[in-house]
Amino acid sequence: MSSKFLKTVLFFATALTLVSCDKDYNEIGTDIIGDDHYDFLKKDDYSISAASYATGPVQTNGLSLVPFGIYEDDHFGRTTANFVTQVELAAVNPTLDDLIDIDSVRLYVPYFSKLEETESDGDKIYSLDSIFGNRNTTLDLKIYENKYFLRSQEVVGNEPEDQIYYNDMSPVIESANAGSAQVNNSTDPTDNTAFFFKNTEIKQNKYNTNVTEEDHTVIRQTPGMYMTLDKAFFKTKILEAPEGMLTNNNVFKNYFRGLYFKVSNPSTAKGVLNMMNFSKGVVTLYYRRNITTTANGTSTTVARRFELKLNLTGNSVSLLNYENTPALPSNRLVVKGGQGFLSTIDILTAEERAQMVHDSLKVNEASLVFHVDEAAMQGATKPRRIYLYDMTHGQSTVDYNFDGSTNGDTKYSKSVFGGILDSAKIAGTNQYKFFYKVRLTNYIRGLINEPDSTDVRLGLSVSENILENSMARLKNPISIVEPDNSTSTYNKLPRASVMHPFGVVLHGVNSEVVEERLKLVIYYTKPDEVDGN
């Protein structure tokens, strides 16, 4: 077994132990500070180069969380977020003979909500916790039968590959659905032309299966997109489908290709945007059919109530359209979700790294500190989380991987790794300045402990879910010309960035506000010079 391999194993084992014990983000090097042979030091003038790039269209199929609505950001312009999805039979090959009629069709897609209070009569009061903008905004919501088939795979070079869809395919969906049936056409305007995100509890009467009885129970559901759909359409399309179309979901998804959710005409200038998980949604058909039984030679026919459920699962695409997107500012870094912006960061020259190795530095904490450009972000929504990743290999960093810290609100998990929006009061004022701090301690330790290892280019993005560290594709790869005139190409970005609708402008390396420039800050110790050595 090589000595280099042993050193690597010992380094990662030690780093994991330190992270698991270091629950306080600001606790610096308590394992060695008490040693008389070490001095505590800080350095924050290391070399950094950083730049920002527009992502262009991004992969948006199969996301677990998507924005929906229309929102006007004070800095980044207008976002219109639509959605198209397949639907699947909850139970395939249903028995539909002796159909009497369809009673109603209901759509329900739950929102993210928080229970605030339960009243004496059992009614519940909720608040919505993933909604942005003016909550009183109404939208013109149209839900169409989707006629564009969302494939799972495509053939590339005679080999099947997972199908990739990008956020800019609205024209394709629009063209395919020209003349398609609108299925949310009830007389209640809140189901269509005056739709808004309600925070009220949903109560629905569920009747006994016996049609002649009116006994029912009240079903309570959390707030969600809840509305009546066109029962005549679903009777013809589903309950009277041609033979074999409901046999299995592969056949069914080609026969009925899903639903297209489209919004327009916000009633306020700010608009409204809600983060949603459409895969939790369901369309329920309530219908009646005759059931005939035979006993002692006598046949009896009675009417019964039934339900058929269509889950909003299968392939889906978040359709994101943008207006008035700003140009990249000079001396600033910009990160924004969706089809937005990402930044690249390169730290430490070869000479600085060699000096660290020579000095036998013991790194207690290393972090990048990003200050928000308050003037640029005035009035705009700041992301709660940014994400630093290994852009060279398209993966998370060692500090991310070693951080096992959790939080009841998963947006704040991996707090040791950092990237959480924070603030500090400006002395002598009632104002605050905002910043993000991301830890690189174990990455820097690795560069010192393994001198032959290769450093990587770091990427910076926003994050909707810090626990999601997989990557999505860029439609048009980003090319970067290196100092030696070679070109590096990158075709991936974090999937959690694609989910997030907002962005932030940060002070860069050469910002005119010197004290808020991007810095690599390292707290370290090194052996004292001993006489005679």
461, part of any domain: yes
Decide if pLDDT at 19 tops 70.
no
Write down the H helix ranges in 225-349.
Answer: 231-234, 249-255
pLDDT tens digits, 391-444 = 999 999 999 999 999 998 888 999 999 999 999 998 888 889 999 999 999 999
Query: What confidence score (pLDDT) does residue 155 get?
Result: 82
- Same domain assignment for residues 315 and 331: no
Decide if pLDDT at 204 tops 90.
no
- Same domain assignment for residues 265 and 395: no
- Same domain assignment for residues 114 and 53: no
18, part of any domain: yes
355, part of any domain: yes
Please report, rounded to a whole number, the percentage of residues in the chain having pLDDT higher than 70.
89
Q: Compute the distance between CA of residue 444 and CA of residue 448 in angstroms, rounded to an integer.
A: 6
The H or E element that residue 350 is part of is helix 350-358
Decide if pLDDT at 286 tops 90.
yes
Average pLDDT, the chain: 90
Amino acid at 427: A
What are residue 170's DSSP bridge partners? none
Half-sphere exposure (Cβ direction) of 64: Cα atoms closer than 13 Å: 9
- Same domain assignment for residues 237 and 331: no
166, part of any domain: yes
Q: How many other C-beta atoms lie within 10 A of the C-beta of residue 358?
A: 10
pTM of the model: 0.89
Query: What confidence score (pLDDT) does residue 454 get?
Result: 81
Query: What confidence score (pLDDT) does residue 532 get?
Result: 45
The residue ranking higher by pLDDT, 12 or 456, is: 456
| Number of domains forming the structure of the chain | 2
Torsion of CA 252, 175, 337, 136, to 10 degrees: -90
Measured CA distances, 422 to 31, 201, 344, 419, 528 (Å): 27, 34, 22, 9, 36
Q: Of 269, 294, 320, which closes a domain?
A: 320
- Same domain assignment for residues 26 and 117: no
- Same domain assignment for residues 131 and 271: yes
- R_g over Cα of the chain: 28
134-138, 139-143, 208-212: which range is least confident on average? 208-212
Query: What confidence score (pLDDT) does residue 528 get?
Result: 63
Encode burial over 13-36: b for 16+ CB neighbours within 10 A, e otherwise: eebbebbeebeebeebbeeeeeee
The residue ranking higher by pLDDT, 136 or 25, is: 136
Task: Provide the pLDDT confidence category of residue 211 given band limits of 50, 70 and 90.
Answer: low
Query: What confidence score (pLDDT) does residue 200 get?
Result: 96
Looking at residues 347-371, what average pLDDT do you find?
93
Decide if pLDDT at 194 tops 50.
yes
Task: Provide the pLDDT confidence category of residue 246 given band limits of 50, 70 and 90.
Answer: very high
The residue ranking higher by pLDDT, 301 or 17, is: 301
pLDDT tens digits, 438-465 = 999 999 999 998 877 788 999 999 999 9
Q: Compute the distance between CA of residue 72 and CA of residue 379 in angstroms, rounded to an integer.
A: 11
Are the CB atoms for 268 and 136 separated by under 8 Å?
A: yes
Number of residues in the chain: 533
Query: What confidence score (pLDDT) does residue 212 get?
Result: 62
518, part of any domain: yes
The residue ranking higher by pLDDT, 157 or 498, is: 498
Can you say how many angstroms the Cα of residue 308 is from the centroid of all Cα atoms in its chain?
A: 31
- Same domain assignment for residues 503 and 467: yes
- Same domain assignment for residues 221 and 346: no
207-211, 347-351, 365-369, 515-519: which range is least confident on average? 207-211
500, part of any domain: yes
Residue 36 lies in domain: 3-57+327-527
- Same domain assignment for residues 131 and 257: yes
- Same domain assignment for residues 417 and 511: yes
109, part of any domain: yes
Looking at residues 99-128, what average pLDDT do you find?
94
63, part of any domain: no
Q: Of 320, 341, 373, which closes a domain?
A: 320
- Same domain assignment for residues 83 and 45: no
pLDDT tens digits, 299-340 = 788 888 999 999 999 999 999 999 999 999 999 999 999 999
Query: What confidence score (pLDDT) does residue 484 get?
Result: 85
Q: Which of 188, 320, 222, 313 is nearest to 263 (CA)?
A: 320
- Same domain assignment for residues 236 and 384: no
Q: Compute the distance between CA of residue 171 and CA of residue 194 in angstroms, rounded to an integer.
A: 25
Q: Of 297, 320, 343, which closes a domain?
A: 320
Contacts of residues 376-379 at CB distance under 8 Å and 24 or more positions apart, as own/partner, are 376/75, 376/329, 376/332, 376/505, 377/75, 377/504, 377/505, 378/74, 379/74, 379/75
Residue 217: partners with Cβ closer than 8 Å, 6 or more residues away: 205, 206
Please report, rounded to a whole number, the percentage of residues in the chain having pLDDT higher than 90.
76
Task: Provide the pLDDT confidence category of residue 379 given band limits of 50, 70 and 90.
Answer: confident
